[in-house]
Structure 1
Amino acid sequence: MKNNSILLVEDDNWLREGLSHFLQQSGFTVMAVANLCSARNVIIQNEPTSIDIILCDVGLPDGSGLNLFEELHQNNNPSGKIFISANSSEQARIQGLKTGADDYICKPINPDELLLRIQALLRRMQPRKEPSSELLFLNYRLNLESRELKQDQYSCQLSTNEHQLLLQFIAQQGKIVSRYKLTQALDIDTCDKEGRALDILVSRLRKKMQLTIKNPSPIVTYRGRGYMLLAKT
């Protein structure tokens, strides 16, 4: 796995070299330059997604870092952007953040604080994973949104009650689920004293789960007690 990359733009030689060494020792790949012209060249020569973080001084020999971050913001550059500046005034911070910067750190730089801020920004930049809409169990895949049940190349559509019944079994897989608990959890006829509505529902689900002849339904009946979805087949 590649190291996260940082472009450091700082005209103070001592600070630039010190921060470069510290960040490299912290596991980052660092490209360090002393002015805006060099920074723009590095950005142009690299893919937009190849530079994870840009650390930029505000006051540079050939212009302001504010201009660089404004350009990057307008071009939707995906890199994380952090200003480092000797100006600690509230107005300067606000102006810096308005350019699209993600953070603003004042000099003198505390390397440990800088590292924590970089790590926090990297975490915020990571795309959030959408929860999977598929539930995997045994050799089946159940789509939680469409209620489609799949086994290899075979598939079928579950009704709402069949879907809810299967979810009850999956939640207690390998355990006997009582008829009473299933009746209470499902929208079926509670006046059905003999439990035929539940039996019919289980029967329908069994048939749909037996998508191939070679794979019998994994739902087992325990007479007088309830049903169990096998933990393995």
Structure 2
Amino acid sequence: MKLLIIEDERKLSDSIVAYLGGEKYLCEQASTFDEAKMKVGMYDYDCILLDLMLPGGNGLDILREIRRRHNPAGVIIVSAKDSLDDKVKGLEIGADDYLAKPFHLAELSMRIYAVIRRREFSANNILRDNGIEIDLLDKSVKVNGVAVTLTKSEYELLLFFIGNKNRVVSKSAMAEHLSGEMADMMDSHDFVYTHIKNLKAKLSVAGCKDCIRNVYGMGYKWTEP
């Protein structure tokens, strides 16, 4: 899962990244209004943590831009401005949650999880598809009741495929999902093929065959076997 932390307090932003990185989230940062606006316009995120007081502008304007683009990312406002007006305004514009500073990082992590689960997986902790059972809290995977050990990248790809079921997903979209903005600086996205090959092999051995299909010249698609 890929997150964007929009926060101008660098120490706080870095501590959030360190903690959520340990929770296996891919985190990117923006510290100014202009940088944040650029990133939400160029990249896709599963959840965005949004401070309201930013150098160069108001975080609520970033939120308006996100929703104007019909961007499906979850948004959690994280701000010291703990006034009722700010909270109501943010929720009216389209924020999913509001967390006042100071806060515990463990609580922030659970808020993020709740927003992603609600938006992408119909509020379920257990995701089932094609004989696959994914425990979103434990980040564990079973196929036909048998545990399958996946790497972080393979697990993220599996969720990405299921979340985009029956849609063709390009290799560049998968590269961005796995590596974030670093994907723009890569000469090749061949590493994506390696992860797909390994994921398909592990699922196939466990009894889930032909779920990931190559669509020639376009990308890959998760389908019913």
TM-score by length of 1: 0.51
String of CA shifts for 1:92-114, please: whole Å, max 9, x gaps: 21111112100010001210110
Q: SS at 1:66's partner residue?
A: helix
CA drift at 1:12 = 0.4
Q: Which of 60, 84, 95 does residue 90 from structure 1 map onto?
A: 84
String of CA shifts for 1:119-160, please: whole Å, max 9, x gaps: 11111012549xxxxxxxxxxxxxxxxxxxxxxxxxxxxxxx
Q: SS at 1:83's partner residue?
A: strand
State how far apart, in whole Å, the 1-side matches of 2:122 and 2:12 are. 35
What percentage of aligned pairs have identical amino acids? 32
For residue 10 of structure 2, what is the aligned residue in structure 1?
Answer: 13
CA drift at 1:45 = 2.7
String of CA shifts for 1:67-103, please: whole Å, max 9, x gaps: 0101111221110011001011222211111121000
> Contact (CA 8 Å) 2:40, 2:66: kept in 1 or not?
no
Task: In structure 1, give the amino acid aligned to 2:93.
Answer: T
What are the equivalent positions in structure 2 for 1:20-35 lying under 5 Å apart? 20-35=17-32
Q: Which of 52, 59, 65 does residue 65 from structure 1 map onto?
A: 59
Q: SS at 2:38's partner residue?
A: helix
TM-score by length of 2: 0.52
State how far apart, in whole Å, the 2-side matches of 1:85 and 1:17 are. 16
> Contact (CA 8 Å) 2:33, 2:54: kept in 1 or not?
yes
Q: SS at 1:11's partner residue?
A: coil
Counterparts in 2 of 1:85 and 1:128: CA distance versus 1, 3 Å: closer
State how far apart, in whole Å, the 2-side matches of 1:108 and 1:128 are. 30
Structure 1 alignment gaps of length 5 or more: 130-233
State how far apart, in whole Å, the 1-side matches of 2:100 and 2:78 are. 6
Residue-pair matches, total: 123
CA drift at 1:44 = 2.8
Q: SS at 2:112's partner residue?
A: helix
The structure in which a higher percent of residues are helix is: 2
State how far apart, in whole Å, the 2-side matches of 1:79 and 1:113 are. 19
State how far apart, in whole Å, the 2-side matches of 1:91 and 1:51 are. 27
State how far apart, in whole Å, the 1-side matches of 2:122 and 2:106 are. 27
State how far apart, in whole Å, the 1-side matches of 2:108 and 2:41 are. 26
The alignment status of 1:54 with 2:54, answered yes or no, reads no
Task: In structure 1, give the amino acid aligned to 2:26.
Answer: T
Cα RMSD after superposing both structures: 1.5
CA drift at 1:43 = 2.3
For residue 42 of structure 1, what is the aligned residue in structure 2?
Answer: 39
Deviates more, 1:31-40 or 1:55-64: 31-40
Counterparts in 2 of 1:128 and 1:88: CA distance versus 1, 3 Å: closer
Task: In structure 2, give the amino acid aligned to 1:12.
Answer: E
The alignment status of 1:113 with 2:102, answered yes or no, reads no
Higher relative contact order (CA closer than 8 Å, sequence separation 6+):
2
